[in-house]
Each structure stands twice: as C-alpha cells, then as structure tokens.
Chain A
Amino acid sequence: GENVEQHPSTLSVQEGDSAVIKCTYSDSASNYFPWYKQELGKRPQLIIDIRSNVGEKKDQRIAVTLNKTAKHFSLHITETQPEDSAVYFCAAFSSGRGNTGKLIFGQGTTLQVKP
C-alpha cells in the first residue's frame, strides 16, 4: 500500500540555525504534498504545500522542495526560532480510482529549537 517515510524522528537545532526534514513516498501517482505543524494538544495546522507540477515553493522562512523522480520531498526552515518547536508531519495525497484519494502521513519529526 501507499507509504510515506519521514526522517529524522527528532531534530534539535540552535536558534538561528536551519532545519531540514525529509520524506519519501511510495505511490508515484501522488500529486499533492502538504506539511503540517502540530503543537502539543492541538490539531495539525497546514504550513506549506506543493503540487507535483512544481519543484520548489517558498513562504518567508519556510521552503519545500520536491523531486518527483526520486519520490522525495523536503521541508527547510531557516533562521529557526523557539516558537518553531513542534512536531512536523509531511503527507502525500495518493489518488484512487475515479474521484477518490487519501492523504497519507509520515511518522512526524519533533523539532526542538534551543534559545
């Protein structure tokens, strides 16, 4: 079945450094790749997404890159701040037959930004 692998599971950086989280997906038909941030006790919140016809997208300190050939996509956070500390999830939208589809998540990365 469809699968999304995410690495690393935990990441600790100093404030101001960059953080990179990587994901691979198995379904070559996947065409939508969102990233979510989840704070303790709260729902996942979308922070950035990318579609399969785009290789890179940037929004202020956050960027996402996609390599469809390698079935690999990454989240880059620059100039990290303590408030970036949270669990981050990648996901891949996997198409089904007709107008069906499902969003499969990676296992999550706990990011800690040390002041």
Chain B
Amino acid sequence: NAGVTQTPKFQVLKTGQSMTLQCAQDMNHNSMYWYRQDPGMGLRLIYYSASEGTTDKGEVPNGYNVSRLNKREFSLRLESAAPSQTSVYFCASTGIWGGNTIYFGEGSWLTVV
C-alpha cells in the first residue's frame, strides 16, 4: 500500500517546454487534488476531481490542465511552462467528500528557467 505516489520528484524545465506530473493512489479514493506551494503562500488548489470523470478549477488554474485518467490516476499538465510556475506541487486524495482525511503525495519540485 503506497498511498499517493507522484512523479517526477524533481524536474527542471526551460520556459515554453511542456510536461506532465503524474499522480496515482491505491486507496480506492474518489476525490483527487493538485496543489502548488510557494514560500509564504501556503498550499493553493490548482484543480480537483471529485470523482472519476469530473474535474473542476481551483484557486489558481491558469496555465494548467488536468486529466482524471481513471479512478487511480490524476495528471497535471503544463503546456508551456513559465518561470512563475516554479513551485512545489502536491497531489492529494480522499475517500469521499465532506470530511475524510486527505492524504498527500511526497511532492514534486519543479523549476522553470
């Protein structure tokens, strides 16, 4: 039981390049989330998926796209990376909405130069 697994852990991109962050959970959770964390800014929600087949925008969705590939996997794509997207990205999941413990992946450190 690995919990929430996200890859890659570290990545350096050039401005304009694209990449996809992968996230998978093995807890049979319905809801999955992508957050970014910048110094002094806390965790800000980028996109979330309440259940398989649905996705919704969070607080800071611009510049990102997501895909809920199946119940286990929720990917985050940067189509044209910008330096402002340098951040730590966390994927998270929870069983049902409305108050279950939310589990985080270990984080992905992304630098855009």
Contact = CB atoms under 8 A, between A and B. Distances in A.
A100 B97 CA distance: 6
A43 B54 contact: no
Interface in B13-33: 31, 33
A1 B56 CA distance: 14
Interface of B: 31, 33, 35, 40-45, 48, 50-51, 54, 56, 58-59, 90, 92, 94, 96-99, 101-102, 104-107
Nearest to B97: A101
Contacts of A89: 42-43
Given A31-B98, A100-B54, A105 B105 contact: no
A102 interface: yes
Interface of A: 1, 6, 9, 31-32, 34, 42-46, 49, 51, 89, 93, 95-96, 98-108
Contacts of A103: 33, 45, 92, 94, 102
A43 B102 CA distance: 12
